[in-house]
């Protein structure tokens, strides 16, 4: 029996947990997994270790982990591997850690769907706001996604960052919308899996700006990406 675990960072925001639990529920009927659950690296329960202990008690001996992480920064390269190793050792559940959801075609498609659901005019510009990282390579990857989306959408697409070393900051980019206001509008889209305090700050800062609309975190729009990760190297049970 193999379960699917979506691993997320965690937040104090009350909307984070229900949003990603809804993502897990949307995936549940699409994969041949014994269970589909969310585990959290911090701030929200269950932790990865606690969930693996629960699975072991239920007789589930294998689990696939899909990290709900866009970039190969600290949480993907250091935090998650350490927690996965500890959880596997303590519970005996064998863990297969797949690639994170990343910034590939599936995520770009989700962002485009989010834009089309939000924009008053498909020609609107886009400010794509990511969490940000102290790792320049992770921030550069977000800029590349913005450049790719710029070629896919009629308006201009550029990236900004809530925290970390990436530039421009979300605050300065939002403030700049007042200065550079043009005839067409701007849609601010979160490159966030779920609601969070950082995104709320962006929404609050943009409130009342004429021609500016804020989208919603990607949430269930990421279901196709997670299912693709499960199928990349699916266990035998998935083909039954």
Tens digit of pLDDT for each residue in 59-114?
999 999 999 999 887 888 889 999 999 999 999 999 999 999 999 999 999 999 99
In 9-59, the DSSP E strands lie at 36-40
Name the residue among 189, 199, 216 with its Cα closest to residue 13.
199
Question: Is residue 27 predicted with pLDDT exceeding 90?
Answer: yes
Question: Is residue 189 predicted with pLDDT exceeding 80?
Answer: yes
- Rounded CA-CA distance 137/116 in Å is 29
pLDDT for the residue numbered 180: 65
Tokens matching residue 167: 């530039």
57 and 113 in a single domain? The answer is no
Over range 194-207, report the average pLDDT: 98
Rounded to 5 degrees, φ, ψ at 66 are -115, 110
Question: Is residue 207 predicted with pLDDT exceeding 70?
Answer: yes
State the residue range of the domain holding 76: 2-102+221-239
CATH of the domain at 139: 3.40.50.1400
200 and 131 in a single domain? The answer is yes
Question: Is residue 170 predicted with pLDDT exceeding 80?
Answer: yes
120 and 171 in a single domain? The answer is yes
71 and 133 in a single domain? The answer is no
Tally of structural domains, the chain? 2
48 and 135 in a single domain? The answer is no
Please state, in angstroms and as integers, the Cα–Cα distance from residue 232 to each residue in 71, 92, 98, following that order: 19, 24, 9
How does residue 240 score in pLDDT terms, banded at 50, 70 and 90? very low
Distance of CA 195 to the CA centre of its chain: 10
């Amino acid at each position: 029996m193999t379960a699917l675990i979506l691993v997320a960072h965690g937040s104090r925001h009350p909307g984070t947990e229900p949003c990603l639990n809804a993502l897990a529920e949307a995936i549940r009927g699409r994969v041949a997994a014994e269970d589909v659950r969310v585990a959290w690296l911090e701030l929200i329960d269950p932790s990865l270790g606690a969930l693996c202990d629960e699975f072991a008690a239920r007789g589930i001996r294998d689990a696939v982990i899909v990290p709900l992480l866009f970039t190969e920064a600290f949480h993907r390269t250091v935090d998650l591997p350490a927690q996965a190793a500890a959880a596997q050792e303590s519970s005996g559940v064998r863990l297969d850690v797949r690639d994170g959801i990343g910034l590939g075609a599936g995520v770009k498609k989700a962002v485009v769907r989010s834009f089309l659901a939000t924009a008053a005019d498909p020609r609107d510009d886009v400010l794509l706001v990511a969490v940000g990282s102290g790792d320049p390579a992770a921030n550069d990857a977000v800029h590349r996604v913005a450049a790719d989306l710029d070629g896919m959408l009629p308006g201009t697409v550029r990236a900004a960052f809530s925290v970390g070393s990436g530039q421009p900051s979300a605050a300065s980019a939002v403030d700049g919308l007042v200065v550079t206001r043009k005839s067409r509008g701007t849609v601010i889209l979160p490159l966030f899996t779920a609601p969070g305090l950082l995104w709320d700050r962006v929404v609050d800062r943009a409130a009342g700006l004429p021609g500016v609309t804020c989208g919603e975190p990607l949430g269930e729009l990421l279901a196709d990406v997670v299912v693709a990760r499960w199928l990349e190297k699916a266990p035998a049970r998935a083909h039954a």
